[in-house]
A and B are shown apart, each in its own frame.
Chain A
Amino acid sequence: MILYKTSDLSYEIDSRTIFSNLNFEISSNAIYEIRGGNGSGKSSLLKILSGLNKMDDVYYDENLESNIAYLGHKNGFVEEISLRDNFNIIGASINDSLFKKFGLSKLKNHKFFNLSFGEKRKSALVRVISSQKNIWILDEPFAGLDKESIKNLKKVFNEHIKKGVCIIMANHQEELDESIKIHLEKNV
């Protein structure tokens, strides 16, 4: 099932061309990796796909809107309250096995500002993974994660792909073997 289709998609910010003439299709049951250097427009493309910045050159499937779980550069949690309270107030389920898998079980009652960068990122990823949504749009999901967590996250991705989830991510770290790549070149 085709979720997105672009036809000569171009994007400018303040009359600076970020990318131009992009053509690709995104379907369910796959991992899409958007790759490119700094400033090549990876995050901008994710915002276009998430619908935050809708473009006429993109076909969006009509059932997308309520099916997206999004994680940008920021985690979306409140710093002054605990990890458990952060999950509770947004009505997100606390999945004990996921918390354990990512080493967060003992941190549930800690204030969010006391967690490390990687722990905060893993908490935000756990929210997305347990969201029951079918399209995950993730901006640099591996940033700040240790080797063990990256390995676990890749495993979770592969498990969910089999369940029909589509994962679209911006990544400039190590390539994933099983992903479909969308390369962005920096326009100078």
Chain B
Amino acid sequence: MYKDLKREFGLFLLIPKNIYLPLSIYGIIFLIFIILNFDEQLSYVSSFIAAFITVFIISEGSFKDDYNSGYLEQKICEGESLSSYLFAKFSVNLILIFTPITLLAYLINGFGEENIFELIISYLLMLSTLHFFFNLGSAISMKRNNSLNALLIIPLLIPFIILVEEIFVKIVLEPNLNFLMAYFIFSATFINFAVIQILKVQSK
């Protein structure tokens, strides 16, 4: 576990592009929506769309570099755990990408809401769930270098998008936050399990 965390944090800190590229993409998309001057209620929709596209873009290459360099093949052959590899990838994204994106979203939208703590947690859960789902697409498309495959998993996200709309646009936290948590747990367990199996098959 420590070894994987060390590698993933090392890669993000030694290659600053890994941090500033997602934040720039998010900022630029959000800025475009601000320039288009949507009304206040839609600013959360804008931030959702910006987050959705950002996570899609960063997740698209989640495993491609490690596959192309032969690291993934080496890791599987040497019997190292892919669960800790995925956990390390998630942790580094949560700390260095998703948390700054959340703060940026609330900085732009303002901290005026009553349930700000719940909304921040919901935002982080939303980003994390998107990350796990897009990782599945990334694992599927890893070998054939075809990011269109990643789009195939978008239908799985339709209930999730409805939930997110209820939370961030209508600000109805109960019971939507519970469902969002369930979606997160499902993606963190079952989807990650599927990703591990797909990575093993793809590396053969």
Chain A positions near chain B (C-beta within 8 angstroms): 47, 50-53, 64-66, 68-81, 85, 88-91, 133, 137
Q: Which of B7, B15, B73 has the most CB of A within 10 A?
A: B73
B65 cross-chain contacts in A, Cβ below 8 A: 78
Known: A47-B77, A72-B73, A76-B70. 13 other contacts (CB 8 A): A50-B77, A52-B73, A52-B77, A52-B204, A53-B204, A66-B79, A70-B74, A72-B77, A73-B70, A74-B70, A74-B73, A77-B71, A90-B3
In this complex, the interface size class of chain B, counting residues with CB under 8 Å from chain A, is 20 to 34
Q: How far is the CB of B82 from chain A (nearest CB, A)?
A: 12
A64 to B78, CA, bound (A): 9
Q: Which of B70, B74, B79, B204 has the most CB of A within 10 A?
A: B74
B178 at interface (Cβ–Cβ under 8 A)?
no
Q: How far is the CB of A110 from chain B (nearest CB, A)?
A: 14
B76 cross-chain contacts in A, Cβ below 8 A: 52
A64 cross-chain contacts in B, Cβ below 8 A: 79
Q: Which of B70, B71, B78 has the most CB of A within 10 A?
A: B78
A85 cross-chain contacts in B, Cβ below 8 A: 10, 14
A80 to B69, CA, bound (A): 11
A137 to B78, CA, bound (A): 10
On whether the beta carbons of B77 and A137 are closer than 8 Å, the reply is yes
Question: How many pairs, one residue from A and one from B, have CB atoms within 8 Å of each other in the complex?
Answer: 71
Q: How far is the CB of B81 from chain A (nearest CB, A)?
A: 11
Within 8 A of A (CB), among B1-19: 3, 6-7, 10-11, 14-15
Known contacts A73-B70, A79-B69, A91-B3: does B10 contact A68 (CB below 8 Å)?
no
Can you sample 19 A-B contacts with CB below 8 Å?
A50-B78, A51-B79, A52-B77, A64-B79, A66-B78, A71-B74, A72-B73, A73-B70, A74-B73, A75-B69, A76-B69, A78-B69, A78-B71, A80-B15, A81-B11, A89-B10, A89-B14, A91-B3, A133-B78
6 closest cross-chain pairs (CB), A and B: A74-B70, A89-B10, A70-B77, A65-B79, A50-B77, A76-B74
B200 cross-chain contacts in A, Cβ below 8 A: 52
A72 to B76, CA, bound (A): 12
A71 cross-chain contacts in B, Cβ below 8 A: 74
Q: Which of B14, B77, B79 has the most CB of A within 10 A?
A: B77
On whether the beta carbons of A68 and B73 are closer than 8 Å, the reply is no
B77 cross-chain contacts in A, Cβ below 8 A: 47, 50-52, 68, 70, 72, 137
In chain B, what residue has the closest Cβ to A50? Answer: B77
A187 to B161, CA, bound (A): 53
A68 to B10, CA, bound (A): 24
A64 to B79, CA, bound (A): 9
B203 at interface (Cβ–Cβ under 8 A)?
yes
Residue among A51, A66, A75, A90 making CB contact with B70, cutoff 8 Å: A75
On whether the beta carbons of B70 and A89 are closer than 8 Å, the reply is no
On whether the beta carbons of B78 and A69 are closer than 8 Å, the reply is yes
Known contacts A52-B77, A66-B79, A69-B78: does B70 contact A88 (CB below 8 Å)?
no
A91 cross-chain contacts in B, Cβ below 8 A: 3, 6-7
A124 to B121, CA, bound (A): 43
A51 cross-chain contacts in B, Cβ below 8 A: 77, 79
A7 to B98, CA, bound (A): 52
A133 to B78, CA, bound (A): 10
On whether the beta carbons of A68 and B14 are closer than 8 Å, the reply is no
Proximity bits, B119-131, A CB within 8 Å = 1, else 0: 0000000000000
B11 cross-chain contacts in A, Cβ below 8 A: 78, 81, 89
B68 at interface (Cβ–Cβ under 8 A)?
yes
